[in-house]
Homo-oligomer: A and B are copies of this chain.
Amino acid sequence: MARLSKRLGYRFTEQKLLLQALTHRSAKGLHNERLEFLGDSILGFIIAEQLYQQFPKESEGELTRMRSSLVRGVTLAQMARDFKLGEHLILGPGEKKSGGHRRDSILEDAVEAIIGAIYLDADIETCKDLVLKWFAPRLAEIQPGITQKDPKTRLQEYLQARKIALPHYEVIDIKGQSHNQEFTVKCTTDINQQAIITKGSSRRKAEQAAAQQVLEMIENDS
């Protein structure tokens, strides 16, 4: 626990708040879901204010997009791994056996719960300083406009930058009448071994959905 405190950069006065934040609902006793509810809202506020100040010229839409990309699950799960949170999670026997301490959703929830716990243990200013420190490298990197691009464009750019062949999209089925059609698209790339199959109300939408899935795969693997 001392090592975790060091990695988090915060020493709890009430140690049991930290324990609760680390306790998944599958375990006995007080678990972290309520703290996660609280922490999620605190995180949203801290990041919103930071982006508001850091980007005085950007539109609401751009700020919203940047915030989503900062507070989304994969980012928080990655942060949890940096903190080696998995080692400290308290899980029920089923979750333990099935590798719950490595699962993204459990890790991200624990990060939010820890934010809630720090707030309760201290105050909003302490919490803000800490969270901004955790996010500092990501805040230093984030730029408006990047996440605006649609999934197909982003996937293409990702592959081009790595000199990987561009994805191949193929319509494999069209169902329904003219103004209510459903397109099924198959997307193959050199990075997803199994073809991705998606549906959409237009060819474009189905293709975008496929590209999005490949991007998520890439993010989850990285």
Binding site for B on A (CB under 8 A): 33-34, 36-38, 40-42, 44-45, 47-49, 52, 58-60, 63-64, 119, 124
Distance in angstroms between the alpha carbons of A129 and B68 in the assembled complex: 28
Distance in angstroms between the alpha carbons of A36 and B42 in the assembled complex: 17
Distance in angstroms between the alpha carbons of A34 and B42 in the assembled complex: 19
Of A42, A45, A52, most B-chain CB atoms within 10 Å: A45
Is the contact region of chain A dominated by helix, strand, or loop, or is it mixed? helix
| Contact between A49 and B59, CB atoms less than 8 A apart | no
Number of copies: 2
Question: Contacts A44-B44, A45-B42 hold; do A64 and B52 have CB atoms under 8 A apart?
Answer: no
Give every chain B residue within 8 A of A58 (Cβ-Cβ): 34
Q: A37-B64, A124-B124 are in contact. List 7 more A-B contacts (CB 8 A).
A: A33-B60, A34-B60, A36-B60, A37-B48, A41-B44, A41-B49, A42-B49
Of A36, A37, A47, A48, most B-chain CB atoms within 10 Å: A37
Instruction: Out of B41, B49, B60, name the residue touching A48 (CB < 8 Å).
Output: B41
Distance in angstroms between the alpha carbons of A150 and B37 in the assembled complex: 23
| Contact between B37 and A63, CB atoms less than 8 A apart | yes
| Contact between A38 and B34, CB atoms less than 8 A apart | no
Give every chain B residue within 8 A of A48 (Cβ-Cβ): 37-38, 40-42
Q: Can you name 26 A-B pairs with beta carbons within 8 Å?
A: A33-B59, A34-B58, A34-B59, A34-B60, A34-B63, A36-B60, A37-B48, A37-B52, A37-B60, A37-B64, A38-B48, A38-B49, A38-B52, A40-B48, A41-B41, A41-B44, A41-B45, A41-B47, A41-B49, A42-B45, A42-B48, A42-B49, A44-B44, A44-B45, A45-B45, A49-B119
